[in-house]
Amino acid sequence: MPRTYLDHASGSPLRPAAFDAMVPYLRDHPGDPGRVHTEGRTTRVAVEDARAQVAGLFGSRPREVVFTASGTEAINTAVWGATSGRAVDAHVVTTAVEHSAVRDALERAPVAVTTVGVDGLGRFDAGAVIDAIRPDTVLVSVQGANHEVGTTQPALEIIAACRERSVLVHVDACMAAGHLPVDFGGSGPDLLSVTGYKLGGPRGTAALLVRRGLRLAPFVVGGAQERARRGGAEDVAGIVGFGAACAELAADGRLALEADVARIQTDRLVAGATAAVAGVRVYGDPVGRVPNLVCLGVDGVEAEPVLLGLDQHGVAVHSGSSCSSELLEPSPVLAAMGVDAEHSLRISVGWSTTDADIDAFLSAFPDVVTKLRALRS
C-alpha cells in the first residue's frame, strides 16, 4: 500500500536539491573545517557558503547564524545564553503555548518566570506580554507561530517595547520558518531559532540567529567552533543540505508559491473533513495560521484510535494526545486553549505533498471515524 505522509510539521522529507548538495560531503570531503590543510579549507568554504544561504532566507547577516543540531538546542542556547550568569532574582516572560524546549529550559534556569495565557485560538496578547515585563526582566521568549494548531502570533509587536526596556527578545520561529516570510534583520529580535528539517533540509540541522554585537555564553561547550558560540565538530554534510534547502526556498518566489499551494491543500482538507464527518471542528485560528498546518477536533472518539486507523489506511498524521510522544500527558498547548487534546488531530503538508495525498486522507478519515463511533455506541 502506498503511504501518505501528512506530518511535515514534525519533519519534512529531504528535498532533492539538499540531498544532491550533501552527497559530496558524505563521500568525498572528510576534512574538519577547523583545520588549515586543503581538506579542512574545502569543508570550511562549504560551511560558510551554507551559512550565507541560511542567512539569505531569513534576512540575517551570515555571521549572525549559529548552527545547532536541532531547534530544541537552538532554543536552549537562547534561554541559557540570556539567563546564565544573572542574579537569582532575574525574571523571564513567556507564554502558555511555547514549545516544551522553552518551558523545560526555563525550569532549569535560575530565574522567576511569568507565563502569559492565550485565548481560545491559542494566540497570546502582545499587550499582556509587555505588561508582564518587570524591572528585573532579562528575557521575553515567544513563538512566531504555534507548533500544535498553527496560529500565528503577534511576536513582532513586543520587540520595540522590549528594546526600550533593554530586555532581550527570543522568537521561536521553528514552525514559521520555510512556510512564512521570516526577516530577522527587519523585524529586530535579538535571538531567533529556526530548523532545517521542517522545511526540507536534513534532520539534525537548525540554527540560532544572534543579533550582531550580542555576546552570549555558549550552551554547548568543549570547542571553539561557530566562532566560540557552539562547541563540537560541525556536521558539514547536514549544514550543506540545510543551506541548499534554504537557497531553493529563497529563489524565484518559491517560498510564497509553496505557501499558496499548502494553503489550498489544507483549506480543502478542512472543508472535506468537516463536510464528510459531523462533529469535526478546527482548533486554532482557521485563517491566521501557518499555511501548511491544521488541527482538527473530532467528537465522540479519542485521537489515538483515529491516528492508528488512519495509519492502517496508509495515512500518517500527528495528534495532541498522549499517544503522540513518549510523554503520558496531553499537549499543554491545547490545555492552555481550553480544548480537549485527547480528541485532536494535527495534519500538516509540505513541499512534497500532492493533491492525491489530500484525497487519501479525505477518503480514509470518514471511514475510520464512522467505524470507531459505531464501536463506542
Catalytic residue, candidates 174, 246, 295, 323 = 323
Q: What φ, ψ does residue 109 adopt, rounded to 5°?
A: -80, 150
Backbone φ and ψ for 73, nearest 5 degrees, come out as: -65, -40
pLDDT of residue 323: 42
CATH 3.40.640.10 spans which residues of the chain?
16-250
Closest CA to 284 of 208, 339, 354: 339
Strand segments, DSSP code E, in the chain are: 4-5, 65-68, 91-95, 112-116, 137-143, 168-172, 191-195, 206-210, 280-283, 293-298, 315-316, 344-348
313 vs 148: CA distance, rounded Å: 23
What pLDDT shows up at residue 324?
44
Please report, in angstroms and rounded to a whole number, the separation of the first and last CA atoms in the chain.
30
Q: What pLDDT is recorded for position 329? A: 65
- Quote the pLDDT of residue 327: 53
> DSSP class of residue 13?
P
323 is an active site residue: yes
- Tell how strand 293-298 and strand 280-283 pair up: antiparallel
Which residue spans of the chain are classified as CATH 3.90.1150.10?
Answer: 4-12+253-376
Classify residue 263 by burial, with Cβ atoms within 10 Å: 0-12, 13-18, 19+. middle
C-alpha cell at 273: 473533513
3-state SS assignment for residue 184? helix
> What is 4-12+253-376's CATH number, 2.120.10.30, 3.90.1150.10, 3.90.226.10, 3.40.50.300?
3.90.1150.10
Q: What is the mean pLDDT of each run of 10 residues along the chain (377 residues)?
A: 93 98 96 94 97 98 97 96 82 96 93 96 98 96 97 96 96 97 94 97 97 93 92 96 98 96 98 97 96 96 94 93 53 90 93 98 97 88
**Which CATH number is associated with domain 16-250?**
3.40.640.10
| DSSP 8-class letter at 152 | B
The pLDDT of residue 321 is: 53
